Structure 1
Amino acid sequence: MKALLVDDEQHVRHAIQLLGHWDDLGIDILLEAADGNEAIEAITAHQPEIILSDMRMPGKDGMALLEWISAHAPHCKVIVISGYDDFELVRHAIRHGGMDYLLKPVEADELNASLMKAVKSWEEEHTLRAESTKQSIVVNRMRPHYQDRLLTELAIGRGNTSAHIQRLQEELNLPCLIPMCCVAVTSLSHLDADCLAKYRSQPDLLVFSVLNICAEMMRTPTEGVTFRQLNQPDEIVLFHWGALSSLTRILDSINDGLEQTIQRRLHFGVSTCENYPAGISGAYLDASSKLWRRNTIGTRRRIHSTLESSSRNKGQRLTAFEEPMRIAALSCHAASVTDTVTEWLEPFTKLEVIGAEQLQQWMQELEWMLSRWLDDAEGQFSPEEESAEDQFPPFAELPFDPEGLLSFPLLRSLLEQRLLAAGKALTAQRHADPDPMREIARYMETHYQEDLSLQQIAARFYLSREYISRKFKQQFGLNWSEYLGKLRINNAKLLLQNPSLRVAKVSEMVGFQDEKYFSKVFKKIEGMTPAEYRKTILQRGS
């Protein structure tokens, strides 16, 4: 804590220094000023908590100084020490925030009692200010989530009451009269795996990037709003109060911005214009259907205003071919797996229309089949409750190319790799009683500095993502990503003991691509930032 002594007489400042119990009061820095102008410079530069000032000084006197402090540094605690027992001076001091008015020559007990009162008052107010700031931060952080929740409820048909619409209007400053609305929906799961991999450690960064660009192009609430559909976290929704033609222009601008930011363009499903708010939920479902039923082969347009795919392919389920795939997987023979996958896939290569929802269904069926095979082979187990983060990566990876279209080579390769992996795992279970989770942990311990993902681990150890998530947590009490995070932080703690290594370099050496994200994870686990940890360790060693 800092204190500033303001008096034009140096011997008075020296006497006050000798009388004060500064260390006992927690004041470790004493500043001096000979008049009000010097005091203002010191306050601006050093921001002292306590100020002791004379009233009669040449230049800017104590009265003018108190007026300046009241306007520019109101949190400072001011004690006036004056040689004048003048009612007007006392009143002026009180009016402008002075806590005490002491007469010269000041007594030590009187001075220290005033100082103690000032320090205690400042600390109490500082605690209240800190708590108020913390509450403001929480409110500001929660506000976007609250707004997203209000808009999500409206989109799914639970928020069209007059009270809900009133809250939306007040919270988002929406126009009083919105006669019509059209809706656009996009999903980040329609991006290719290479793009999603760049944001694997910070999936929210991708969401925020897309949301910010959408909001920037929408410009103001009088034009429309953008939000994250909280029931489908990979989904971004736009409500537009104008015509469909103007929404199309906005979406084109959004894709131009995305091209520059994430080097990709997104696909959007758009609805017809409907009455607001009654028609919102129907328009949302319409736009979502058009996105997921877009044709993923042969069409390169990004804005989908019609239902493009046919529902007749829905009968072609992956599970209908489950037994041939299981037998091929158990053979552990690459050629047999390739032949089986080709046999199943061949009819689809001749189609002109395959919807995005069909691809999603196949991927879900694949994970379900592999997980069930492994569970059946192992026997009964007692499943633990798992979070969505434990079960799935941040966004599902579908076999899309950078244009957001189906890649048959990617789909074929994905199926072959997963079936071969499952076959090897099933064969190993029949001939031995290995500890695959321990093997995964050992692999992570030697490859923690690499950009690991659950999908990569699953492919390497011939297991499904869901199986690894469940068994790893059962065995270690942590999901695999938490285990990897602690492993990286423990190694980072060792490296931070070397003062020659910059924090950014340590972050890179333990597998974090982003220094800010590294610091965030480090503080979450250790309760302090990497820099604070290094300082603590070096101080202990000195």
Structure 2
Amino acid sequence: MKVLIVDDEKHVREGIKLLGAWEQNGIKEIYEAGNGEEAISIIHKYSPAIIFSDMKMPKMDGTQLLEWIKEHQPTSKTVVVTGYDDYHYMRKAIHFGSSDYLLKPIDPEILNQTLEKAVKEWKDEEAERKKKESSYQLINEIKPVYRDRKLTQILNGDMKKEGLYEEFGLHLSQNYTAALVRINGKTIKTFHGDRDLAYFTILNVINEILLEKECGIGFRYLSNKGEIVIIFWNKFEQMVDLLTRIYRTIKTAMDISCPIAVGSMVYYHSKLMDSYHQAKQVLLNSNILDETVNRVYCFELQPAIALKNLMSYSSNIELAIQAGEIGAFEELINQIAIDFIENNSLSLKQLLQLENEYLVISNRWFKNYNLSVKVAEDIERRVDLFFDQNGTFQLEEYKKRKLREIAIFLEKIKRRTLKKNSNIICDIEKYLQANFDRDVKLQEISDHFYISREYISRKFKQEFNVNISDYIVKIRMDKAKSLLKNSQLKIYEIANMIGYQDDKYFRKVFKKVEGVTPNEYRAEFIN
């Protein structure tokens, strides 16, 4: 805690310094001033908690100093020190909020009683100030959330008590207009993903400009993600200019584009939702390819534009997938872009529907090939990535992203197909091992596994380095060698068991494969 002693007589200042119980009262710094002007300089610099001041001083006397302190440093506690037992000075001291009044010469006991009282008062008031400051800070933190919640209810028509409207900033009026501000994913990214900070900052800009004209209020519309709603109740003729100023201020300060759309005027606050819906349609119908510097869109009655449907390209997509080459999709995507974009115009609504249908079709094909389906992100979040800082949609970047996603999909299909085919060849091998004792034809295998004979022959040779007929012979010979180890079986019996009806043909094949006759093999094994 700091103390300032103001007196034009040095020995008086020294006396107070000597007599005061400073440490006992938590005083760690003591400053001196010879007149009011010096005192003001010290007060500016150090903000002392307790100020002892003489009343009669050159340049600026005690009365003037007390008046200045009351206006500029009201938290300090002042104690008047004077050699004149005059009611006039006491009255002045009380008028300017002095804590107490001391007479020269200073009595040590009275000085320290006065000091202790002033310190206690300052501490009590400081504690109260901190409590209020903390409470005020909490209110300021809560107030935007409270305001947003209540104004969202008002817009949704949930508030029935009209007396509450002005409490939340909405002035009662004959006419109202709603405007919608879009906050996309790139805007949130600018604030390092802190969504609350993004809304708080943007709303500060909006409401500061609206407050100047006392014509409207902006709030975070809690019913829909990514939206700020502005309600105008006055100065409608200046509305577009104000919104343009808001848009440009946000753009200049934060280098982000927050498009704004305006609905039509309504005549009752209960109809505000109609104006909001109109503003939303205006925003959804805005041309996202337009490279304008001012994205403020006004409501105009226009015929509804039919949206194009990506589902109508399903057969073309299927053919491209069957082709298995990304080149087929490059052609298809370019054709879709040409069909969807007219006069270099693409609406946000059309883009969102396109993205939604793209995800539906993608998931269908992923499931068709038993590929894991990724949990779909929010549609708007997916497309937000392709808007630049000016709010223009980057069509070419969007197309490139789709081609990369499709290329990854085709690669997964190829890997899964190779794995599936490899598994099928293994299944064919097992089938041959189970049916080696009869004449299995290639056509039978083709019919059984629903694969062409040519594909089976080619893939089997690649996998086992031998054709199917030779592989069957190898199985039979291995089985024959096992059976020949049993001396009780006749050669013709073994031949029949492994699929040869003619034992002479069996002997010939065995000799060709093993280099010895069946009898020679048996004799060699037994001996």
TM-score under structure 1 length normalisation: 0.57
Does the 8 A contact of 2:155 with 2:270 survive in 1? no
Paired residues for 1:126-137 under 5 Å: 126-137=126-137
Contact 1:296-1:405 at 8 Å conserved across structures? yes
Corresponding residue number in structure 1 for 2:264: 272
1:55-70 pair list within 5 angstroms: 55=55, 61-62=61-62, 65-70=65-70
Q: Which residue of structure 2 aligns with residue 32 of structure 1?
A: 32
- Change in 2 beyond 3 A, CA 1:314/1:118: farther
Task: Give 2:339's match in structure 1, choosing from 338, 344, 350.
Answer: 350
Hey, what's the Cα distance between the residues in 2 that align with 1:182 and 1:105?
A: 73
The answer on whether the counterparts of 2:356 and 2:379 sit within 8 Å (CA) in structure 1 is no
Deviations 1:500-527 (A, max 9, x none): xxxxxxxxxxxxxxxxxxxxxxxxxxxx
Query: Which of 159, 164, 167 pairs up with 2:164?
Result: 167
User: 1:177 aligned to 173, 176, 186, which one?
Assistant: 173
Q: Distance in 1 between matches of 2:208 and 2:379?
A: 31
Q: Which residue of 2 aligns with 1:305?
A: 300
1:125 to partner: Cα distance = 0.9
Q: Give yes or no for contact 2:291–2:390 (8 Å, CA) kept in 1.
A: no
**Cα distance in 1 between the residues matched to 2:82 and 2:59:** 16
Contact persistence 1:148–1:230 (CA under 8 A): yes
Shift of residue 49, structure 1, vs aligned partner: 1.1
CA contact (8 A) 1:270 1:286 kept: yes
Q: What SS does the corresponding residue of 1:313 show, helix, strand or coil?
A: coil
Residue 184 of structure 1: CA displacement? 3.2
Rounded Cα–Cα distance in structure 1 between residues aligned with 2:333 and 2:198: 35
Opposite residue 415 of structure 1, the aligned amino acid is K
Within the candidate set 311, 317, 327, 1:316 is matched to 311
Q: Go from structure 1 to structure 2 and tell me whether the alpha carbon gap of 1:358 and 1:2 turns closer, same or farther (over 3 Å shift).
A: same
Change (3 A) 1:373 1:222: same
Which residue matches 2:278? 286
1:50, distance to aligned residue in structure 2 (A): 0.8
Contact 1:269 1:305 survives alignment (8 Å): no
Match 1:235 to one of 217, 227, 233: 227
Q: Structure 1 counterpart of 2:351, which letter?
A: L
Note the C-alpha offset of 1:235.
2.3
CA distance, structure 2, for counterparts of residue 79 and residue 56 of structure 1: 14
Note if contact 2:256-2:390 (Cα within 8 Å) is conserved in structure 1. Answer: yes
**Bigger CA drift: 70-79 or 239-248?**
239-248
- For residues 402-450 of structure 1, the C-alpha deviation after alignment (integer angstroms, 9 at most, x for no partner) is 7756544222222233455678899999xxxxxxxxxxxxxxxxxxxxx
Aligned match of 1:515: none
Instruction: Give the CA deviation at 1:276.
Output: 1.9
Aligned partner of 1:50 in structure 2 is 50
Aligned position for 1:79: 79
Q: Which runs of 5+ in 2 are unaligned?
A: 417-527
- 1:82/1:351 CA distance change after superposition, 3 Å: closer
Residue 373 and residue 85 in structure 1: after superposition, are their counterparts in 2 closer, same or farther (change >3 A)?
A: farther
Query: Distance between the aligned counterparts of 2:23 and 2:227, measured in 1?
Result: 58
Structure 2 CA distance, aligned partners of 1:120 and 1:74?
A: 16
Q: Indicate which of 397, 417, 421 corresponds to 1:410.
A: 397
Could you say what secondary structure the match of 2:99 adopts?
strand
Measured after TM superposition, the shift of residue 237 of structure 1 is 3.1
Cα distance between partner residues in 2 of 1:107 and 1:317: 100
For the residue of structure 2 that corresponds to 1:185, the secondary structure is: strand
Q: Distance in 1 between matches of 2:219 and 2:379?
A: 22
Evaluate the alpha carbon distance shift between residue 188 and residue 23 of structure 1 in structure 2; reply closer, same or farther with a 3 A threshold.
same
> Does structure 2 retain, via aligned residues, the 8 Å contact 1:309–1:355?
no
- Structure 2 length-normalised TM: 0.59
Partner SS, residue 223 of structure 2: coil
Take 1:30 and 1:42, find their aligned partners in 2: how far apart are those partners? 11
8 A contact 1:244–1:272 mirrored in 2:
no
Change (3 A) 1:398 1:97: closer
Structure 1 segment 370-389 matched on structure 2, within 5 A: none
- What number of residue pairs does the alignment pair up? 407
Counterparts in 2 of 1:394 and 1:43: CA distance versus 1, 3 Å: farther
Q: How does 1:120-159 map to 2 (within 5 A)?
A: 120-159=120-159
1:152 and 1:229 in contact (8 A); partners too: yes
CA distance in 2, matches of 1:34, 1:299: 68
Asked whether 1:16 is paired with 2:12, we answer: no
Say what the alpha-carbon RMSD is for the aligned residues: 5.2
Q: Distance in 2 between matches of 1:83 and 1:104?
A: 5
Greater mean alpha carbon deviation, residues 408-417 or residues 142-151? 142-151
2:384 is aligned, of 397, 407, 426, to 397
The percent of aligned pairs where both chains have the same amino acid is 27
CA contact (8 A) 2:3 2:31 kept: yes
Deviations 1:450-485 (CA, angstroms, capped at 9, x unpaired): xxxxxxxxxxxxxxxxxxxxxxxxxxxxxxxxxxxx
The DSSP-based 3-state class of the residue aligned with 1:350 is helix
AA paired with 1:51?
A: I
Describe the shift of the 1:404–1:85 C-alpha distance in structure 2 as closer, same or farther (beyond 3 A): closer
Q: Distance in 2 between matches of 1:59 and 1:212?
A: 46
Whole-angstrom distance in 2 between the partners of 1:317 and 1:146: 47
- Other structure's SS at 1:272 match: strand
Greater CA drift, 342-351 or 20-29: 342-351
- CA deviation after TM superposition for structure 1 residue 61, in Å: 4.8
Amino acid aligned to 2:229: V
Higher relative contact order, chain-length normalized (CA < 8 Å, sep 6+): 1
Counterpart of 1:442 in structure 2 is: none
Deviation digits for residues 246-276 of structure 1 (CA, Å, limit 9, x no counterpart): 6556556666666766677765544333222
